[in-house]
Chain A
Amino acid sequence: MTAVSTPRQREILVSVSLVATVACIVLGIWEFIVWKFDLPKALLPTPRQCWNAAVLERVALFQATLSTGFAAFSGLLVAVAVGYGLAVIFSQSRSLRLALFPYVILLQTVPIVAIAPLLIVWSGYTFRTVLIVTAIVCLFPIVNSVTGGLMSTKQDTNDLFRLYGAGRWKRLLHLQIPSSVNHLMLGTKTSSGLAVIGAIVAEFFVGNSTSYDGLGTLMTGWANLLKTDALVSAVFASAILGVLLFGTVHLISAVFLRRWTTFAASAS
């Protein structure tokens, strides 16, 4: 075994093995419960049966994961673009902020399951509907976080910009936008989990009788057929998708946006 030298590596090893231990215990208990109470496969399949179903359905599962992943990612991107634009507008005009912010909150508080059927009516059983639902779900954390970021510049720095006669545009470009990147990435991370939820919820409504295939449509179909083992494997696929999306966002902020995101702790 290679030597684990740095405390950081040791820390990672410890946390990975703890997570793995918990997984093993949960899977063990699961297997035990099914065996002990002799549960039918349609009600609760064993982990092994779920794994077998996943292998059997691997092509459909993989394609559906890809579709849903693409929908979630695109929806998140749309939300970032729209959300950032809204946040910039909110940061520049107090009256627009006061007028429009309540509606952004409203968009957040109206349950997405209530809006989804409406969107189906307007936009049809299509990918576009999934995209819109996802974007709506993702929008609020981004708008909220970025607006905060754009407006939370320090007094000294504001004075500095005033002293050099910086106008609205230069302030935005050289001060507000750079200092909002960190907030943008935090908001996007929060939304990345919501994106997968939004996409799957939308797919539930789109249903499995159309040309569009995602994890949500697959789940609806398998639920109707009582293919519980495959259903569970789809649940795991969606969980993995969420983690992947979060990881991607994290990677982007760590690799490309380092300059604006790593200073947070030591800013002065």
Chain B
Amino acid sequence: MISPRVTTLLVTGSRQKLFVRKNLLSESARVSAIHCQSLSIEYPGGTRAVDKISLKVNPGEIVSLIGPSGCGKTTLLRLMAGLEQPTEGAVRLDPPVQGDAGGIAFVFQQPSLLPWRTAIENVVLPLDLIGKGSPSNRREIASELLRTVGLEGAVKRFPSELSGGMKMRVSIARALVTEPHVLLLDEPFAALDDMLRNQLGQLLLELWERRRFTVVMVTHNIAESVLLSHRIAVMRDGALASVLDNPLPQPRNEEIRATSKFGEFYGHVSRTLRGES
């Protein structure tokens, strides 16, 4: 539902009363589970980029796909998005998002903004494409989202006038503008420095806290996957090597990095990735 429903929620915090503006965060927002059923994709010539992968991602869960380059994690993500067709098996969303363009959102490694559109016009793009809402309605939703990602001052700037981190924020806002059931991210922060990477990771968690959409994220970065996800799927040679449950408590913030539990799990993931356990 795309309606500018601005609810004012009174939150009594420990320090002060916070007025949290809620817009796109309708309680009824639907999220979907993703069922991958023995997915395979074989390219002409016999290379199997993805080999019989079965994976269920629960509604509202954050799952990281991690593995060495060329292990097929991006291909798996693209299969989930429907950007590639499997040669065997199927991807099923439950509840399905059929006929609902915008039900699945994808964040690319590059911000991939249209350079002739301003920040807000880029965020509006998916709504333009699926033809939802009136133009003024679309802008309202987009500007609300830009505020949420902390870009209220850059609404009318062109991508060439934005820093790398800001562009990525616009890209995330664009992905969320359709209220997707499922958010897929392909190494979204890989091109950014460590500081920005952490900031945007936190932003992603905050956005997730509000709407609890299902997230699948491809990453190279073990710390990032440990910090952000509920489960970590380790891939090797196109197949699923193992799926690890993240024992760290939630909600998480940067401080958790300093705890021994973080270090332990980090080590566990790292060993699994190397195939030692």
Contacts and interface: CB of A to CB of B under 8 A. Distances in A.
Interface of A: 154, 156-157, 159-166, 170, 174-175, 178-179, 181, 259-260, 262-263, 265-268
Given A164-B130, A166-B129, A268 B101 contact: no
- Minimum-distance CB pairs A-B, first 8: A263-B115, A165-B101, A266-B160, A156-B112, A164-B129, A267-B115, A156-B108, A166-B129
B116 A164 contact: no
Nearest to A181: B116
Contacts of A181: 116
Nearest to A162: B83
A263 B116 contact: yes
A179 to B, nearest CB: 8
B112 A160 contact: yes
B18 interface: no
Interface residues of B, number: 27
Contacts of B108: 156, 159-160
A181 B116 CA distance: 10
Nearest to B106: A163
B86 interface: no
Contact of A156 (B110, B128, B158): B110
24 contacts: A157-B114, A159-B81, A159-B106, A160-B108, A163-B83, A163-B105, A163-B106, A164-B129, A165-B101, A165-B130, A170-B129, A174-B129, A178-B116, A179-B116, A259-B116, A259-B158, A263-B115, A263-B159, A265-B160, A266-B159, A266-B160, A267-B115, A268-B113, A268-B115
B116 A268 contact: no
B112 A157 contact: yes
A194 B167 CA distance: 41
Nearest to B125: A174
Contact of B81 (A163, A165, A260, A263): A163
B114 A175 contact: yes
B111 interface: yes
Interface in B116-163: 116, 125-126, 128-130, 158-160
Nearest to A266: B160
Contacts of B78: 159
A178 B112 CA distance: 15
A48 B113 CA distance: 57
A268 B128 contact: no
B59 interface: no
Contacts of B81: 159, 163
Interface string B76-106: 0010011100000000000000000110111
A154 B112 contact: yes
Contacts of A174: 114, 125, 128-129
A263 B115 CA distance: 6
A179 B178 CA distance: 24
Interface of A is mostly: helix
A251 B104 CA distance: 43
Nearest to A178: B116
A174 B82 CA distance: 22
Contacts of A260: 116
Interface in B225-256: none
A170 B130 CA distance: 10
Nearest to B118: A259
Q: Which of A154, A161, A165, A170 gathers most chain B CB within 10 Å?
A: A165
A263 B110 contact: no
Interface string B175-195: 000100000000000000000
Given A162-B83, A164-B129, A164-B130, A178 B114 contact: yes
Nearest to A161: B129
Contacts of A262: 160
Contacts of A161: 129
A81 to B, nearest CB: 22
A165 B130 CA distance: 7
Contacts of A170: 128-129
Given A263-B160, A266-B159, A164 B112 contact: no
A181 B111 CA distance: 22
A164 B108 CA distance: 14
